[in-house]
Structure 1
Amino acid sequence: MRARLVALGATLLLTPVLLAGCGDDGDSSPSAAAGTAARGCVTSFDENTDYFPVHSTLEHAKNFTVIYEKAYQVLTVKEPFPDGKPESYVLYRCGTPKPELTGDLADAPRIKVPIESIYSGSTTHLPLLVDLDRTGILTGVSSASSVVSKEIRDRIDAGKVVEYAGNGQIDTERIVTEAPDVLMTGGTDDPAYQKLRDAGIPVVANAEWLESDPLGRAEWVKFMAALTGDEEKATKVFDQIEADYDAIAAKVPDNQPVPTMIGSMYQGTWYMPSGGSYVGKLLADAGASYPWSGEADTGSLELDFETVFARSGDAKIWLGDGEWKTLADITAEDGRYGQLAAVRDGQVWSNNLVIGAGGGNDYWERGVTRPDLVLGDLAAILHPEAFPGHMFAFYQQIK
């Protein structure tokens, strides 16, 4: 699984999770039009009233769009999974008539919003719910052990969030019985999804990992907000992430980039991010240089150790992604690692600083949609003089 994800340029751990809607755990509070209740439900429908007065606008995300009508919006994911055909979802305000549409939208799922329950297909959805103060709508996760967020783990421990694919197999019977408002995928396909659709469970694809721009991935908070009715808050959340990201990038010294070793091997193959990938963009903004930064592909290159060693083995800093705790763990994994200059000099860093109680890595949960925090870590490692006293979010030095 890890090899497949890295080869596609994915920087997330796909762990299905379910979203719950706007229940008693929080006030949905979309900007209300006349004739709406507190959570945004319409009490007196008027076809001339705009029930979506606050619109999200997209600056960096390329893999989804939002089109607004007066009583509904059309949320479209261009590529719901690799090479998948576009999928559209019609989101209509609760209390308004279910839209009767024709053409391409005739068979699109109709989803009443704000939603009140959600099953989620990836731990990367969880920070979006936390940032929008919507953890109360989460009712299902695919693998409870993969969750790092304390707020979500507390809900799991309290029995408010169930596990629906702990063995890797989606329990369709349980999902149909529980009937969440939405099951959100992690950007992959599964035969079980069609079974759920046939049973009347709306399946919504979240494919943020196919974005090659770090800020594009972060902007998927607006995708979640389309379902929860939090467009205004999502804009504020994203604008802050963008401002922080840009501020860090502006502080990175613009002199000679720092030669850096990137990635690690998995089952004999070294997966190297291309320059056009999500990771490649982060490295460029952090002031790192590596021999494959000029590759325009948005995924990862599959290399052997000898190729990487010949072109990058003398780099003094290694940004790895192993589960190592000590330098001895690194050479124990593969003795050839001991030939790398960064290992000899003790400048090996890995993104395993925060590991959850069940073994989940926060880098693959919170880090995917918080590129500002990732960039801050990378910049501080490569340019410590420019970022004194930096508090690391995901990376730690392996000693």
Structure 2
Amino acid sequence: MALPRGGRLAAAALLLALLLAGATAPTGAAAQACANRVRNCDPSRNYFTNRVKPIAHATTIRGLRYTNTYVDVTIAALEGKPPIRYRFVRCGCRAPSSGRVVISIPPAAVYVGDTSTLSQVALEIRALNTVAVIGNVFSTYSPEVRRRVAAGRIRSLIPSAAEFSPKYARLLDASVTGVSGSRAPLLALIPSRAIKPFRAAVGNRLRFVTSGELDEVTPLGRAEYVKFFGIVLDRSGTADRAYDTIVRRYGAAKRLAAGARRRPSVLTGFPFGGKWNQPGEKEYAARFLADANADHRYQSNGKVLATTLSGAQIVRQFGSAEVWVNAGLYPGSPSLTLDELLADDPKLSNAVFKKLRSVQCGRVWSNQRQVSPDGLANNYFEEGAVRPDKILSDLVRLFHPNVRVPGTFNYYYWLGRPSGLKCPTSNLFG
């Protein structure tokens, strides 16, 4: 039986509303709570007056496009997984999904699973008040975050130092997360490696946003993810200014290094389980050494991945290296001496360490200047992961002591001279 004209119009309106509602989220996915809701959203009005500049260095952030009510971004190359196409919609507005993952922004509350992302959120875009839950307080350096966890203002998904893997199902329990009412459900910011276990634990009951920063092979590429998180948390202006500062300071440090009189040879890292990794030419860590104007044996090997060496191979290939960086023990210490390092494992020291010219001449540096009181968290991997300008400035200072770099050391410190060893070179940097 045909409906009367008024009934047909009402049915059409209802169908359109259902289609629009269904288009704003993937089927079966729970909508996360958002903040600063727009009343009576007008699609002709621009709700993104602060916009990040075009992506310049990050190769995995693609297709950035603004409209009046939403922002499209594609995150590609997530550790070999298919790209994720996001549509970030202003809270209170509607937009068709067009096959994208739709997220309402800004979120009312977030879970932050990775310490580098936490540093982006807390320090660079100043959105710590949005953080309700973090992955692991024991691997977090930030004193402010630790204070908030101790005060119950932020929860830690991992409640004990004896646990290592987060149980994501806990994010569904308000008694665990402290997130309820208008702030629930929260939005999860997770690293790409966590996508599979996260989905297995919570299904479609929580939305998540992930990034491809670990697939970036350049320091400035990784740091540019501050723009992505600026979009997600509606801090685009702050994110843009933060990134401009990083690029400017990184470039200044690189130019100072390029003007140095000589390039010292370098060994990096520390052995674990009898194996010692050295970065390939196209690896993230190698770019720091190149931009700091240091000479690494593998700087032209064309490899993306690190090369794993034995102690004997390290002695043969890097025994004459003038400087050793990123040495240290775990738990970390900001006051470890070279003698203490050598005494920790006498067998390894006699077989390897004491045969290195960098050790004999006391040119060993640790990146543990800023570690938590228990030594479990290192700010080099937290803030340093998103502030490559600070890391590069440190490396230029220690590789080129005659170059005047503004400021003081951020993450590195010198382990001092060894006892009972003779340096074969009278003036290593002469």
TM over 0.5: yes
Cα separation, 2, equivalents of 1:341 and 1:351: 20
Contact preservation (8 Å) 2:263, 2:293:
yes
Contact preservation (8 Å) 1:113, 1:228:
yes
User: 1:55: Cα distance to partner?
Assistant: 2.7
Which residue of 44, 49, 57 corresponds with 1:48? 44
1:363 aligns with 2:389: no
Partner of 1:225: 230
SS at match of 2:324: strand
For residues 95-114 of structure 1, give each alpha carbon's deviation from its aligned partner in whole angstroms, at most 9, with x where no partner exists: 112x2333x42xx2x21101
Deviates more, 1:311-320 or 1:241-250: 311-320
Pick closer, same or farther for the CA change 1:394–1:180 going to 2, 3 Å.
farther
SS at match of 2:266: strand
Partner of 1:330: 341
For residues 112-139 of structure 1, give each alpha carbon's deviation from its aligned partner in whole angstroms, at most 9, with x where no partner exists: 1011211112110122122212110111
Partner of 1:171: 167
Deviates more, 1:192-201 or 1:299-308: 192-201
Partner of 1:136: 129
User: 1:352: Cα distance to partner?
Assistant: 0.6
User: 1:54: Cα distance to partner?
Assistant: 3.1
For residues 219-261 of structure 1, give each alpha carbon's deviation from its aligned partner in whole angstroms, at most 9, with x where no partner exists: 1111111111111111111001110111111111254311112
Pick closer, same or farther for the CA change 1:297–1:70 going to 2, 3 Å.
farther
Cα separation, 2, equivalents of 1:388 and 1:135: 31
Partner of 1:125: 117
Contact preservation (8 Å) 1:121, 1:141:
yes
Cα separation, 1, equivalents of 2:307 and 2:116: 24
Identical residues among aligned pairs (%): 24
User: 1:64: Cα distance to partner?
Assistant: 1.8
For residues 176-210 of structure 1, give each alpha carbon's deviation from its aligned partner in whole angstroms, at most 9, with x where no partner exists: 12455311112313543113552421121123122
1:272 aligns with 2:269: no
Contact preservation (8 Å) 2:260, 2:403:
no
Paired residues, what number? Answer: 358
SS at match of 1:271: strand
Cα separation, 2, equivalents of 1:173 and 1:260: 45
Cα separation, 1, equivalents of 2:166 and 2:284: 29
Partner of 2:320: 314
Partner of 2:77: 79
Partner of 1:36: none
Which residue of 365, 376, 396 corresponds with 2:393? 376
Cα separation, 2, equivalents of 1:297 and 1:222: 29
SS at match of 1:200: coil
Deviates more, 1:216-225 or 1:253-262: 253-262
Quick check: which has more Rg, 1 or 2?
Answer: 2
Cα separation, 2, equivalents of 1:186 and 1:86: 14
Cα separation, 2, equivalents of 1:310 and 1:292: 14
User: 1:141: Cα distance to partner?
Assistant: 1.3
Partner amino acid for 2:149? I
For residues 333-384 of structure 1, give each alpha carbon's deviation from its aligned partner in whole angstroms, at most 9, with x where no partner exists: 3222111111111110010111113420010100011000000100000111
SS at match of 1:160: coil
Contact preservation (8 Å) 1:111, 1:181:
no
- List gaps (5 residues or longer) in structure 2: 1-31, 175-183, 417-430
Partner of 2:304: 298
User: 1:46: Cα distance to partner?
Assistant: 1.6
Partner of 2:370: 354
User: 1:155: Cα distance to partner?
Assistant: 1.2
1:385 aligns with 2:402: yes
SS at match of 1:155: helix
Pick closer, same or farther for the CA change 1:154–1:279 going to 2, 3 Å.
same
* TM, length-normalised to structure 1: 0.84
Pick closer, same or farther for the CA change 1:390–1:341 going to 2, 3 Å.
farther
Which aligned runs of 4 or more in structure 1 are off by greater than 6 angstroms? 20-23
Partner amino acid for 1:356? S
User: 1:22: Cα distance to partner?
Assistant: 7.9
Pick closer, same or farther for the CA change 1:168–1:190 going to 2, 3 Å.
farther
Pick closer, same or farther for the CA change 1:169–1:251 going to 2, 3 Å.
closer
Partner amino acid for 2:274? G
Structural RMSD (CA): 2.1
Partner amino acid for 2:173? T
User: 1:390: Cα distance to partner?
Assistant: 4.6
Which residue of 70, 86, 89 corresponds with 1:89? 86
Partner amino acid for 1:91? F
Partner of 1:10: none
User: 1:44: Cα distance to partner?
Assistant: 2.6
Partner of 1:257: 263
Comparing both chains, which one has the higher relative contact order based on Cα–Cα distances under 8 Å and sequence gaps of 6 or more? 1
Cα separation, 2, equivalents of 1:69 and 1:386: 47
SS at match of 2:192: coil
Partner of 1:282: 288
Which residue of 186, 189, 194 corresponds with 1:189? 194
Contact preservation (8 Å) 1:251, 1:386:
yes
Partner amino acid for 2:58? A
Which residue of 144, 148, 156 corresponds with 1:155? 148
User: 1:140: Cα distance to partner?
Assistant: 1.0
Partner of 1:31: none
Contact preservation (8 Å) 1:123, 1:365:
yes
Cα separation, 2, equivalents of 1:180 and 1:302: 44
Deviates more, 1:190-199 or 1:331-340: 190-199
Partner of 1:33: none
SS at match of 1:142: strand
Contact preservation (8 Å) 1:259, 1:316:
yes
Partner of 1:32: none
Pick closer, same or farther for the CA change 1:21–1:393 going to 2, 3 Å.
farther
Partner of 2:415: 398
* TM, length-normalised to structure 2: 0.78
Contact preservation (8 Å) 2:327, 2:364:
no
